[in-house]
């Protein structure tokens, strides 16, 4: 077994050099183990020299595809690329065979990387750092794949005359108006809320823009000194104890985000919300902007469970704020229910969709995704302790009851749940938006209001 060690998670140049040598030596893909040393900024070294007799060419299309796939977070990406490289020499037209499993997988990875780069460009939100002269902006973003360095030139072109920092878990990008600099990424547990972003930037990244941190000869960034154990202890002793911060909550939740269903559980809705943001129980987080936890008070008598966030919920980070949410608000008002007294959530916490041009079209979560996310729903129910749980639609019913429940035959009937709450099923508000006939739509809305009235009455 040959071990190919790369300098960083995005070390495509290192992979290319190692793959070239391995293939020239005739080392088969199944005999190579690809590993990453983890040094984000490795020191430059001499370029490896491949004997002229062992050099070979590959289609430009392969190099373009490989450079994208290398940015995917899948641990199998480098092995997949080497399999393709090994085969493409013997099968020159391999990349044209869309049904080939390796080709299909690589193109799927490339599309996911493209989507992540697109979302980073489209959804980045900068905050001006007050009192900084010249003007300086900061943003926090968690891309689904390692596209931060790839998108950096886009932001430099777009904001060439402004200073900014883009903070991500993979790498932090800094532009001072003249030169681009990269520093190690931040732990997602450190991700600041929007109202804390300025303080976080000042504490951790303002030093990058200090002229004293630039080498006078070439303008290169001088790394920030590493804090020692002694200075850390002194700083901690000088600071008075405070209540657990959002960072601490997220760090704790990150540790058990992949826990079994009977493992360590959150004890508050704040911990649930923090955990949803770093959940990796299924792959839906990769293409979503953010997780969308439930919303509503602890002790709410009624809990409404929808299917998943939609496009607008994904951007806002709140459940039922889009068109379906407007229908729900109208129905709750007609039923005499105050939404602020109801806990509203979803069976699945990340937006599952597919791109059609610039539009993100809803896709129904599958059974595995519903099962993976049920841990969060069960914890919400345990913390809120509602008397009635109303499942809005078939996916929500599957999550609440653990089995398929026909909506038409079961609506209007109370079903006992194991935690002593009563369950109901009804239509999802988005179903009402899809009913084409005006009379049928009015009737469906009337039935939906009746179901909400019943749920509120039972929650009494």
Which tens digit of pLDDT belongs to each residue from 318-350? Answer: 999 999 999 999 999 999 999 999 999 999 999
In the chain, where the domains are located? 2-119, 124-228, 283-459
At residue 89, the pLDDT reads 77
- Average pLDDT over the chain, rounded to an integer: 82
At residue 331, the pLDDT reads 96
State mean pLDDT over 445-456. Answer: 96
Per cent of the chain over pLDDT 90 is 46
Which pLDDT band, with edges at 50, 70 and 90, does 376 fall under? very high
State mean pLDDT over 4-15. Answer: 90
Model confidence pLDDT, tens digit, residues 16-64: 999 999 998 999 999 999 988 654 444 444 444 444 444 567 888 999 9
Model confidence pLDDT, tens digit, residues 130-141: 666 778 888 888
Model confidence pLDDT, tens digit, residues 205-228: 666 666 665 666 666 665 555 444
At residue 233, the pLDDT reads 43
- When mean pLDDT is compared across 33-42, 92-101, 289-298, 392-401, the lowest value belongs to 33-42
Asked if the model's pLDDT at residue 418 lies above 70, the reply is yes
Asked if the model's pLDDT at residue 159 lies above 70, the reply is yes
CA distance 325 to 344: 10
Per cent of the chain over pLDDT 70 is 78
Model confidence pLDDT, tens digit, residues 282-319: 889 888 888 999 999 999 999 999 999 999 999 889 99
At residue 220, the pLDDT reads 62
At residue 187, the pLDDT reads 67
Contact in structure between 294 and 344 (CB atoms under 8 Å): yes
Contact in structure between 319 and 405 (CB atoms under 8 Å): no
At residue 302, the pLDDT reads 97
At residue 180, the pLDDT reads 87
At residue 110, the pLDDT reads 93
Asked if the model's pLDDT at residue 236 lies above 50, the reply is no
More confident residue, 204 or 133: 133
- When mean pLDDT is compared across 110-114, 121-125, 152-156, 385-389, the lowest value belongs to 121-125
State mean pLDDT over 420-429. Answer: 94
At residue 281, the pLDDT reads 83
Q: CATH homologous superfamily for 283-459?
A: Uracil-DNA glycosylase-like domain (3.40.470.10)
Which of the listed ranges 176-190, 194-208, 388-402 does the model predict with the highest average pLDDT?
388-402
More confident residue, 401 or 241: 401
State mean pLDDT over 106-115. Answer: 92
At residue 35, the pLDDT reads 87
State mean pLDDT over 93-111. Answer: 91
């Amino acid at each position: 077994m040959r071990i190919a060690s790369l300098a960083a998670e995005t070390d495509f140049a290192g992979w290319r050099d190692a793959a070239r040598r391995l293939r020239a030596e005739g080392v088969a893909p199944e005999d190579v183990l690809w590993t990453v040393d983890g040094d984000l900024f490795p020191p430059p070294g001499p370029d490896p020299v491949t004997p002229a007799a062992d050099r070979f060419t590959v289609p430009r299309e392969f190099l373009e595809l490989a450079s994208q796939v290398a940015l995917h977070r899948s641990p199998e990406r480098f092995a997949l690329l080497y399999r393709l490289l090994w085969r493409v020499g013997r099968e020159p037209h391999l990349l044209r065979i869309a049904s080939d499993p390796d080709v299909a997988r690589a193109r799927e990875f490339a599309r996911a990387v493209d989507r992540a780069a697109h979302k980073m460009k489209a959804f980045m939100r900068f905050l001006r750092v007050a009192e900084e002269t010249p003007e300086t902006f900061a943003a926090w973003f968690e891309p689904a794949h390692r596209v931060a360095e790839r998108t950096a030139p886009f932001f430099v072109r777009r904001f060439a005359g402004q200073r900014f920092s883009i903070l991500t878990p993979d790498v932090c990008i800094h532009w001072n108006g003249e030169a681009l600099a990269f520093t190690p990424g931040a732990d997602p547990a450190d991700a600041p809320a929007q109202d804390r972003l300025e303080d976080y930037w000042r504490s951790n990244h303002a030093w990058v823009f200090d002229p004293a941190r630039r080498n006078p000869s070439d303008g290169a960034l001088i790394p920030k000194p590493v804090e020692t154990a002694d200075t850390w202890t002194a700083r901690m002793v000088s600071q008075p104890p405070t209540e657990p911060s959002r960072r601490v909550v997220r760090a704790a939740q990150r540790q058990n985000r992949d826990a079994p269903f009977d493992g360590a559980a959150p004890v508050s809705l704040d911990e649930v919300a923090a955990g949803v943001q770093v959940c990796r129980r299924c792959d839906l987080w990769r293409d979503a902007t953010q997780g969308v936890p439930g919303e509503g008070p602890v002790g709410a008598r009624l809990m409404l469970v929808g299917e998943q966030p939609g496009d607008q919920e994904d951007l806002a980070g709140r459940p039922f704020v889009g068109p379906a949410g407007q229908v729900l608000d109208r129905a709750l008002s007609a039923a005499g229910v105050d939404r602020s007294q109801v806990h509203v959530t979803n069976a699945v916490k990340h937006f599952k969709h597919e791109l059609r041009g610039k539009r993100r079209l809803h896709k129904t979560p599958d059974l595995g995704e519903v099962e993976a996310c049920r841990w969060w729903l069960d914890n919400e129910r345990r913390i809120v302790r509602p008397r009635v749980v109303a499942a809005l639609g078939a996916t929500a019913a599957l999550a609440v009851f653990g089995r398929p429940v026909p909506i038409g035959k079961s609506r209007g009937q109370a079903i006992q749940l194991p935690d002593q709450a009563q369950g109901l099923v009804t239509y999802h508000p988005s179903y009402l938006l899809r009913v084409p006939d005006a009379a049928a739509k009015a009737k469906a809305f009337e039935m939906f209001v009746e179901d909400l009235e019943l749920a509120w009455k039972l929650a009494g």
